[in-house]
A and B are shown apart, each in its own frame.
Chain A
Amino acid sequence: MTAIVDAAGVTKSFGKVQALAGLDLRIESGQVVALLGPNGAGKTTFVRTLATLIRPDTGTVRVAGHDVVSQASKVRAAIGLAGQHAAVEEAMTGRENLEMVARLYGFGTRQARVRANEVVEELSLDEVAGRRVRTYSGGQRRRLDLGASLVGSPRLLLLDEPTTGLDPRSRIELWDAIRALASDGTDVLLTTQYLDEADQLAARIVIIDQGRVIADGTPSALKAQAGGDVIEIHTRDSSDLAAAARSLNRVAPEAPVVDPATRRVSLPVDAGIERLTSAARALDDAGIAVEDISLRRPTLDEVFLGLTGERIDLPERKSA
């Protein structure tokens, strides 16, 4: 199989800030890949490099076999980009937006209309396509933006944080649309800050931190690497937190994390269900009143902690 994305040793700095620090990534055709990482990890910079919007300082980046610097126009013909903002014109209708993009891909007037209608149908935008975008909800706007990136029938669809800022229902609708595209054979590379989003959509998750790939694999492999599931309890009284942490400490090798503000103790575990029962028993034995107890997937924060030993939101990381 050919590589749809082939990046080697990519660096990019903006002034003193190094956004990409030797990123290597090869993506085979035929899958959805999620780039996961905290704010400032370099995800957007990498996507913008793939989209020929910025040139790498060093290293090579090829998209669909074409170099993003020397063969930029070929790359542009092969990609569709939906960035963090819904880059659609508010004063025009959805259909007019799509027709405009089609014209810019070189379609004639009539063909552009046909192509726009196809995209309208593909993304179920029929009801709103005749209305000005000004009247759209956030979700409809994003869906139209996704549609605009599809007009040129791209081989690779680049989605930069496609659901950031959307309500849960719009998010799920957009996920469905992305899944449908992927099953039609479009390669998708998306960036996200949400582990569940990557988990939902991608067959492969690439975790980026400080401009480098720090982990790469299937969602389940990564989660196992990060310590599997998490047991989380809420105590009724904050005075019980320390005792709860002590009891939980005996259940698994990892140390529990206490968050006094939310009266929560969380514990990374490998084999979820058995540990949950022993945790419940340990708390019961200690006579701790628990508001609720649950087993959940780790958050990106916890995956990060597992991979790097650092928390995402440390102040010195933000300034880095």
Chain B
Amino acid sequence: MTAVTAPTRAPSLLSASVVVARRTTRKFLRTPQLVVVGTIQGAMFLLIFRYVFGGAIHIGDVPYVDYLVPGFVTTSVLFAGMTTAAGVAEDLDQGFVDRLRSLPIPRAAVLAGRALADTGMITWNLAITVAIGFAVGFRLHGTMAEGIAAFALCVLFGFAFIWLFVTIGLVAGNAQAAQGMSLLVFPLTFVSSAYVPVSSMPGWMQPFAEHQPITAMVDSVRALCLGDSAQSLLGHSAGYYIVPALLWSAGLIVVFGSVAVAKFRRG
């Protein structure tokens, strides 16, 4: 009855991950609510910060829009990442992960495929957020190469945070819980240099805001975007911020990557 015989060799980690990733990407692209709502939400928040709060916020010699947009773009990877947690929880809950785990593929492909697809999704989201940023008046003060480097860093931060959200998705139990738990990162973005300078916060809050990963990431992106003004506004040049940002990213990937893989293996 079967005309094609089943292959005797299981697919490699890479090819299985790509197949798994393609499904997640298709789901994203074919669910207009996800694409449109995500985009509109991002745009709305950016407009609110730029035009509602922006008038009241004054930062050195740099227009607020040039301060805000790098921070906003960087933190947008966290908001996009929330769909990762919900998606992982949903796949677990609805038996999709069971199907994948019962197939003769490397198990790591299930999570790797998710991370791959969602990094793609985050990159798409970043591109749109950057475009909206330019539309509301943001201008790049650094070189084109610095701008591209800043974008690449955002993609890396997104990839790093995906592992946090994958872990949340694995422990949450269902999509709603995953969504709820992901919202806990919300305050983290505010208590950072993303939207206002840390120096404007109360003294007791500053040490935390100053040394948390989002601040390091935001400042590295901001320094690259501001070019020469970075030194005067932020106090240091880009390199000073990039090193801790990269270390934080590596830390997130190693810690949450291992936790997620261990949790996933145990079933």
Other-chain residue from A53, A90, A100, A106 in contact with B102 (beta carbon distance below 8 A) = A53
What bracket does the count of chain B residues touching chain A fall in?
A: 20 to 34
Q: A104 near B11 (CB under 8 angstroms)?
A: yes
Q: Which residues of A contact B7 (CB under 8 A)?
A: 105-107, 111
Of A81-89, A204-212, A289-297, the one with at least 4 CB within 8 A of chain B: A81-89
Residues of A in contact, count (CB < 8 Å):
40
Query: For residue A87, which residues in chain B have a CB less than 8 angstroms away from its CB?
Result: 94-96, 98-99
A-B contact count (CB 8 A): 103
In the complex, what distance in Å separates the CA atom of A144 from the CA atom of B105?
A: 21
Choose from B2, B15, B105, B267 the contact partner of A54 (Cβ within 8 Å). B267
Q: Is B184 on the interface with A (CB-CB < 8 A)?
A: no
A85 contacts B95, CB within 8 Å? yes
Q: Are B3 and A73 in contact (CB under 8 A)?
A: no
The answer to whether A77 touches B10, judged by C-beta atoms less than 8 angstroms apart, is: yes
Q: Answer whether residue B101 sits at the interface, using C-beta atoms and an 8 A cutoff.
A: yes
Q: A91-B30, A104-B19, A106-B104 are in contact. Are A53 and B3 (CB under 8 A)?
A: no
**B145 interface residue (CB < 8 Å to A):** no
Q: Is the CB of B101 within 8 A of A118?
A: no
A77 to B11, CA, bound (A): 12
Main secondary structure of the interface of B (DSSP, over half): loop
Contacting residues, chain A, for B6 (C-beta < 8 A): 77, 105-107, 152-153
**Residue interface mask B229-266, A partner, CB < 8 A = 1:** 00000000000000000000000000000000000000
Q: Is B19 a contact of A73 with CB atoms below 8 Å?
A: no
**Quick check: is A148 within 8 A (CB to CB) of the other chain?**
yes
Chain B proximity of A135: nearest CB distance (Å)? 12
Residues of chain B contacted by A79 (CB below 8 angstroms)? 102
| Residue from A54, A81, A104, A111 within 8 A of B4 (CB atoms) | A111
User: Closest residue to A101 on the B side, CB-wise?
Assistant: B103
A-B contacts, 10 of them at CB < 8 A, read: A52-B102, A53-B98, A53-B101, A83-B98, A84-B95, A85-B95, A89-B27, A104-B20, A105-B103, A122-B1
